[in-house]
Each structure stands twice: as structure tokens, then as C-alpha cells.
Amino acid sequence: MRLLCFSALAALLISPTHGLRVAASQSWIEHTPLVYAIQNFYKGDTATLVNGGVASLSDKSIDVGANAETQGLKNYASHKNYRLIGIIVEVTYRLVANKAAGIKTLADLKGKRIGTISGTSAEVFVNQLLSSAGIAKGQYTLVNGQVCMRAPCGGGTFPAQFKSKAIDAFGVWETAVQLGIDAVGEDNVVVFKNASAYREVYSLYATDEKLMDAAARKKIVQFVRALNHTYDVFRNQPEKVYSTVGKLVGVDVPVLQKVWADHVWGPGSLGDRLLSYLEYEEQYLSKADRRTAFTRAELSKFVDPSVYQEAMSG
Ligand SMILES: *[C@@H]1O[C@H](CO)[C@@H](O)[C@H](O)[C@H]1NC(C)=O
Ligand SMILES: *[C@@H]1O[C@H](CO)[C@@H](O)[C@H](O)[C@H]1NC(C)=O
């Protein structure tokens, strides 16, 4: 075990030219199965994790990238060769509101100051959640800020703004929301979520060219197999990974445990349920990004279940 970890770490550091190269932002809980899969289950030559995401696929040395479906769709708009090949985790984002601001129901968020990060999945989430209660864009004020992964949270972060009442509510990925709840006190806040209105579908992407290149595809299929084993551990034996995940993203384990249930670890179906969800998100996103919404046919081309199917049949 010790030896295995050491060689996996060496693989992460050496960065060979011919091994698998995986791009993801390394700050968030969502990316941690990528690390776990490389360290524990990947049977290919070597695998290297670099900072980036789906946009990194324009660099031909990158084999796969990971990001929320929101960034996937944004990038697909200018790169029709990008493919969503698997779901790593689905996360029901949460919005926390201060009862002291007179908020009991979603409808009470009208006219309030709501923290989120523009241009990201978090902004899409806030919009989709509020519009599920009939509140339109422009009927609330969006306030930018930073996330926080571990208390104490500094000045510009959402939990600090929430505590000082600079904002009435905020919605973003974890663990910031949990830290906001903890900062103000569970009894003083109300938490909203709605997985049909918005859930993050954090996914794995590759280019069509890589998927048609036999050698690259083989590595990608092996990696998807390693991820499949990883999901099993994350889902069924979380106590085995809490400490690793906590260390990787700088989160305290008790906080991680509180948000774990909102994370549904892969693989997730790439069928109609996903396509309908993307189609629904596109109604908002295409308007926000001032482009034509992808048709169902275009989305069916974007989502490619063949890699996962090949991994599972091999
Ligand atoms: C959740 O969101 C969906 C989609 O916007 C909406 O139809 C549904 O009423 C919402 N559920 C609740 C409990 O608000
Ligand atoms: C995928 O993972 C499941 C456990 O979740 C395991 O039973 C199955 O054998 C795995 N499939 C492959 C192809 O490795």
C-alpha cells in the first residue's frame, strides 16, 4: 500500500510525455475521485493530474478534462469536438438564507442581496432555483464574493459576508454553504435546494479526435474503469476517503461529513434524463451567453456514452 502510494505520487510529479493527462481544478471536492483513481486503481502506464478543466482540451497533450456541465456546455459552443463521456458526481447545490432578513420561503428572496459567482455553475443554480419560485433575473441583486473551504473565512468570502449581513443569502458549491450555516447558526438560517431546478453534473470530457485515436482511447477507457472502482469506495465506504479528500482540498472532516450526502458519486446515466436536464439548462444558459440553444440532436452528439459502455464491457 505504502509502495503503491509512493509510485502514484511519483507518477503525479514526473509528468511523462506519453502517460494519460487529466485536467481539473484541484480546489474542489468534486475533483477528488480523479486523484483517488490515479493513486489506487489506474492500470495504465502513468497518469498526471494538471490544473485546468474542459477548456484545457484545446491543448492536445491533455486527454481528459473535468468540469461542471455548465462549463461543458459553454465550451461546446465554440468546440463542437468536445464530448461529455461520464458523470463523476452530481451535487445538489444549496442556497442558505438568513431568517433575520425576513426569509422563510424562496419567494421571500425577491429584492434580496444574494451572493454567487457570476459566469459559473453557481450563478446558473441561483437563477434556476429562484425562477422555480417565479422570481426573475433583475428581481434580486447578485453580489460577487469568494468561496471558503475552511473556517475562519476571510473578509471577501461568502460565509463572512453572510455573517456580517452584507448579503442576505448565498448559493455556491460546498463547503462554503455549510460554513455559512455554521457561522450564523443552524437555527437562524433556512436552506433551499431543488435537484430538478439545478444540480451540478460534474463530468469528464474528451475530444472526438482523442476518442478516435486507438492508443488515447485505450488509456481513457482504462481511466474510466479506475473511476468506476473509485465511485464504489466514495459511495459505500466514505470513511475510507474522508481524510484523503479533506487533505486534498483543505476541508475539515466534520464539515466534509455534513456535505457528503449532497454528493452523488458517479457514474450516472448518460441517457434521456441527462439530455433533458441539459436541454432545460440550455434554455437559461444560451440566453445568458447570447447564443442559440443547442438542439436535442446537438446535445446527443455532445454526450457520448460509448466510452463508459466500452469500459464496462471490457
Ligand atoms: C423544483 O424545481 C422544478 C423545476 O423548476 C419545479 O417544477 C418544482 O416545482 C420545484 N420544486 C419545489 C418543491 O419547489
Ligand atoms: C464497476 O464497479 C462495480 C462496483 O461499483 C463493480 O462491481 C464492477 O465490476 C465494475 N466494473 C468494471 C468493468 O470494472
- The one-letter amino acid at 21: R
**211 and 304 share a domain?**
yes
**79 and 203 share a domain?**
yes
**104 and 209 share a domain?**
no
- Residue 66: other Cβ atoms inside 10 A: 28
* pLDDT at position 45: 85
**34 and 118 share a domain?**
no
Question: Ligand 2 pocket, 59 CB below 6 A?
Answer: no
Q: Which three cell numbers stand for residue 196?
A: 430538478
Peptide bond preceding 292: is omega within 30 degrees of 0, i.e. cis? no
* C-alpha 269 to ligand 1 mean position (Å): 22
Beta strands in the chain (DSSP E): 20-23, 47-50, 64-67, 82-91, 94-98, 113-115, 141-143, 169-172, 189-192, 200-207, 263-265
* C-alpha 52 to ligand 2 mean position (Å): 28
Per-residue pLDDT of 236-273, as tens digits, reads 999 999 999 999 999 999 999 999 999 999 988 999 99
- The one-letter amino acid at 179: L
Say which ligand is closest to the CA of 283.
1
- Final residue of a domain: which of 192, 217, 237? 192
* φ, ψ (nearest 5 deg) of residue 138: 95, -15
Q: Probe ligand 1: pick from 92, 129, 130, 132, max atoms within 8 Å of CB? A: 132
Per-residue pLDDT of 280-314, as tens digits, reads 999 999 999 999 999 999 999 999 999 999 999 97
Q: At what angle do helices 121-131 and 272-288 cross, to 10 degrees?
A: 100
* C-alpha 228 to ligand 2 mean position (Å): 6
**216 and 287 share a domain?**
yes
Question: Ligand 1 pocket, 194 CB below 6 A?
Answer: yes
Closest C-alpha residue for ligand 1 atom 2: 197
Percent of the chain with pLDDT over 90: 92
- Final residue of a domain: which of 167, 192, 217? 192
Structure confidence at residue 44 as a pLDDT band (50, 70, 90):
confident
Closest C-alpha residue for ligand 2 atom 5: 232
Q: HSE (CB half, 13 Å, CA atoms) of 193?
A: 18
Say which ligand is closest to the CA of 314.
2
- Final residue of a domain: which of 192, 226, 256? 192
Nearest alpha-carbon partner for 123 in 191, 200, 182: 200
Decide: 116 and 172 in contact? Cβ < 8 Å.
yes
Adjacent-strand bridge partners of 114: 142, 169
**141 and 58 share a domain?**
no
* C-alpha 227 to ligand 1 mean position (Å): 32
Query: How do 200-207 and 263-265 pair as beta strands?
Result: unpaired
**32 and 70 share a domain?**
yes
Q: What is the mean pLDDT of the chain?
A: 94
**63 and 184 share a domain?**
no
Closest C-alpha residue for ligand 1 atom 12: 194
- Residue 165: other Cβ atoms inside 10 A: 12
**44 and 122 share a domain?**
no
Question: Residue 94 pLDDT more than 50?
Answer: yes
CATH assignment at residue 273: 3.40.190.10
| Cα-Cα-Cα-Cα dihedral sign, residues 283, 288, 291, 297 | negative
Nearest alpha-carbon partner for 265 in 195, 177, 203: 203
**98 and 76 share a domain?**
no
Q: Which three cell numbers stand for residue 278?
A: 441539459
pTM beyond 0.75, yes or no:
yes
**101 and 40 share a domain?**
no
Say which ligand is closest to the CA of 194.
1
**72 and 114 share a domain?**
no
Question: Ligand 2 pocket, 14 CB below 6 A?
Answer: no
Distance CA 69, CA 302 (A): 11
Say which ligand is closest to the CA of 193.
1
Question: Ligand 2 pocket, 131 CB below 6 A?
Answer: no
* C-alpha 200 to ligand 2 mean position (Å): 24
Question: Ligand 2 pocket, 225 CB below 6 A?
Answer: yes
Structure confidence at residue 7 as a pLDDT band (50, 70, 90):
low
* φ, ψ (nearest 5 deg) of residue 260: -60, -40
Q: Containing domain of residue 187, as a range?
A: 94-192
| Cα-Cα-Cα-Cα dihedral sign, residues 265, 269, 272, 278 | positive
Helices and strands of the chain, counted as H and E runs: 13, 11
Closest C-alpha residue for ligand 1 atom 11: 194
* C-alpha 227 to ligand 2 mean position (Å): 10
Decide: 206 and 86 in contact? Cβ < 8 Å.
no
- Structurally, how many domains does the chain consist of? 2
Over range 198-225, report the average pLDDT. Answer: 97
